Amino acid sequence: MEVKDAIEKAKQNDQIAFNFLLDKFWNTVYGFQLKRTENENDAEDITIQTFSRAFDKIHTYNDMYEFKTWLVTISKNIHIDLVRKQKSTITSQSNADEEDDYFSIIDESPSPEDKIITEQNLAKLLRDIKKLKPHYQEVINLRYFQELSYKEISEHLNESMNNVKVKLLRAKKLLAAIIKKE
């Protein structure tokens, strides 16, 4: 399959075309992010978000540009957004009074109310996860609750890493749709 054919098929929601594009460009986007973030987990997460956003917006792709360039641009923008979020969090946590030579120490430990809300949110999330097909439940459990790497999940499920990545991507999209629906 050629890239142009795969893009056209992907615009028609062809899963094989999505898999082809993911396999073809994964290393390019991941390598780009690994150089930027210098962190394997962050690079993987941003790469997954990149392909998720690209597949959601594939109909907006302009074939006058290279597909690889389009993906790297999406990836770069996601990284910039994450860095901005981190900076705004750091800024909001520091003391606004710059004349003092100290910063207030913010107590980030959860209050009893926060703990109850977190427990309720976790219980709701677990109920939503149980609405997914079993193989999607398993991959989410392995990645986010057992905190296994893609390689470890691949070995555990006896599947290729790209299949694990695509399955996790699909599971997250389906879970997001379930959460939005409610």
Across the chain, mean pLDDT equals 84
Residue 104 pLDDT: 60
Strands (E), 52-150: none
Query: Average pLDDT, stretch 151-158?
Result: 91
* Residues 6 or more apart whose Cβ sits within 8 Å of residue 99: none
What percent of the chain stands above pLDDT 70? 89
SS3 of residue 63 by DSSP:
coil
Buried b (16+ CB within 10 A) or exposed e, 121-138: eeeeeeebbeebeeebbb
Query: Average pLDDT, stretch 113-140?
Result: 84
Closest-CA residue to 55 (of 94, 7, 115): 7
* Residues 6 or more apart whose Cβ sits within 8 Å of residue 152: 142
The C-alpha atoms of residue 41 and residue 182 are separated, in whole angstroms, by: 30
State the amino acid at position 131 in one-letter form: K
Taking CA atoms, 32 is separated from 19, 36, 58, 62, 83, in Å, by: 20, 7, 20, 22, 16
Residue 106 pLDDT: 63
pTM, whole model, 2 decimals?
0.56
Query: Average pLDDT, stretch 27-34?
Result: 93
